[in-house]
Structure 1
Amino acid sequence: MRIVIAEDSAILRDGLVQLLTLRGVEVLAAVGDADALRAAVAEHAPDAAVIDIRLPPTQTDEGLRAAVDIRRDHPGTGVLIFSQYVETKYAAQLIGDGGAGVGYLLKERVVDIGEFVDALKRVAAGGTALDPEVVAQLFGASRRASALDALTPREREVLDLMAQGRTNNDIAASFVVSERAVEKHVANIFAKLDLPPSGSGHRRVLAVLRYLDA
């Protein structure tokens, strides 16, 4: 897996490079601002980019805006936002752009580097990896009535875990039920969200995007 990192803190940036390199991740560039991030992605065409939200010069949302640009200009590059903050202004646009390969994790809630690498791999492979707090805040930012109203409480819980990038096996373990039971919930979710089987195989991602958009 080939990645670039955008983090303005030199200590955290170097720490990420060392930790990820030790786990077999090839770090092509580690930069400290949004313009350097855009240039690095254009030059290296990485599998994914790990991006902090608040980058120079204003330390507001430069990283998130750069992530939106990268998703538009380099759709083959996954984007994993890694920040202390949840910014809903551009996050909904980033996650709801119709594409896959997007993640948003909060720094203080990542306690296992192995789980972080797994999330990064999911994003690079076209999946999602969303922190539950991010999902909650994005969901709270817009509560339009939708097909999601037809979901049962358990189906909503399953969809929430799907948004975090969890597999059916992971969800089954969380609920202490069989994987078959989870598959039934997932099938019901697809049916209620009007997501018929297709050759693309992206129904899971589309379901998550419907969830966040609603």
Structure 2
Amino acid sequence: MTDSAASGPAALEPVRVVIAEDNALLREGLQVLLERNGFVVAAAVDTGEKLIAAGRDAGPDLVVTDVRMPPTFRSEGLVAAVRLREENPSLPVVVLSQYVEQSYVAELLDSAGGAGIGYLLKDRVSDVADFVDTLRRVHAGGTAVDPAVISQMIRRHRDPLAGLTPREREVLAVMAEGHSNGAIARRLFVSEAAVVKHIGNVMMKLDLPPNDDQNRRVAAVLTYLRNQES
């Protein structure tokens, strides 16, 4: 009897989860659902700031977060998830949303090559077993993106800057003002090494071939300025 039980779902290694959801009923319901399926809820919070704190302090193996939370109900949960991934690229994150937040989806998927990332639309999460399996796959390093999210992102207009993350756009915008890498780093409060990395990503995503670095910077800036005019 003991051997049989050890081979079942209960034998799965417990996964410590931090939940972020501002709706108390949904938050508690999600906590009960996860605990019934072998997860350990390390923290359940209701704001993006609390999510960042819990992600740092509670030692989660997985973060499950809503997108829109107090105080502005815009993208606090998603921004917090991106921040946590910047600090710990190996931290698996599953985002549950009623909307497709394209810019931050791109940044989230860009982190650590998209490994350990899930983005699911809430109204499509109806099968508990499938949902639990998705969480475990993301925890194991897999990627799970709702087909509707992929479809909307593919249908985006072919803006040459569309593939840039919010941070890459910020770097490009400051670069367009004529600032050096060091000045960009000081303006955005990041390291100069991070600026070099972001600029490299911008050049690659804008399909600017390696040649004279100054020419590439000018070409990137021109692309940015043309996009602002359109």
Q: Same fold (TM over 0.5)?
A: yes
SS in structure 2 of the partner of residue 141 of structure 1: coil
Aligned to 1:115: 130
CA distance in 2, matches of 1:95, 1:54: 18
Name which of 142, 154, 157 aligns with 1:139: 154
CA distance in 1, matches of 2:94, 2:157: 22
Measured after TM superposition, the shift of residue 2 of structure 1 is 1.1
CA distance in 2, matches of 1:124, 1:46: 10
CA distance in 1, matches of 2:92, 2:120: 14
Name which of 27, 40, 44 aligns with 2:41: 27
CA distance in 2, matches of 1:45, 1:65: 19
CA distance in 2, matches of 1:99, 1:18: 28
CA distance in 2, matches of 1:61, 1:74: 20
Name which of 130, 140, 147 aligns with 2:145: 130
Measured after TM superposition, the shift of residue 142 of structure 1 is 5.8
Name which of 35, 58, 62 aligns with 1:44: 58
C-alpha contact (below 8 Å) 1:9/1:32 kept by paired residues: yes
SS in structure 2 of the partner of residue 82 of structure 1: strand
CA distance in 2, matches of 1:122, 1:143: 32
CA distance in 1, matches of 2:128, 2:114: 26
C-alpha contact (below 8 Å) 2:21/2:65 kept by paired residues: yes
SS in structure 2 of the partner of residue 3 of structure 1: strand
Tell me the percent identity. Answer: 51
Structure 1 pair 18/126, CA: closer, same or farther in 2 (3 Å)?
same
* TM-score normalised to structure 2 length: 0.61
Aligned to 2:115: 100
* TM-score normalised to structure 1 length: 0.65
Aligned to 1:87: 101
CA distance in 1, matches of 2:129, 2:40: 15
Amino acid at match of 2:81: A
- Where does the alignment leave 5 or more consecutive residues of structure 2 unmatched? 1-14, 161-230
Query: Structure 1 residue 3 and structure 2 residue 32: aligned?
Result: no
SS in structure 1 of the partner of residue 56 of structure 2: helix
- Where does the alignment leave 5 or more consecutive residues of structure 1 unmatched? 146-214
Q: After TM superposition, which residue ranges in structure 1, 4 or more long, deviate above 6 angstroms?
A: none
Aligned to 1:176: none
CA distance in 2, matches of 1:99, 1:135: 13
Aligned to 2:31: 17
Deviations 1:70-118 (A, max 9, x none): 1111222101001111110211111123241000001100111111111
Deviations 1:2-21 (A, max 9, x none): 11000000000000000110
Q: How much is the aligned-residue C-alpha RMSD, in angstroms?
A: 1.5
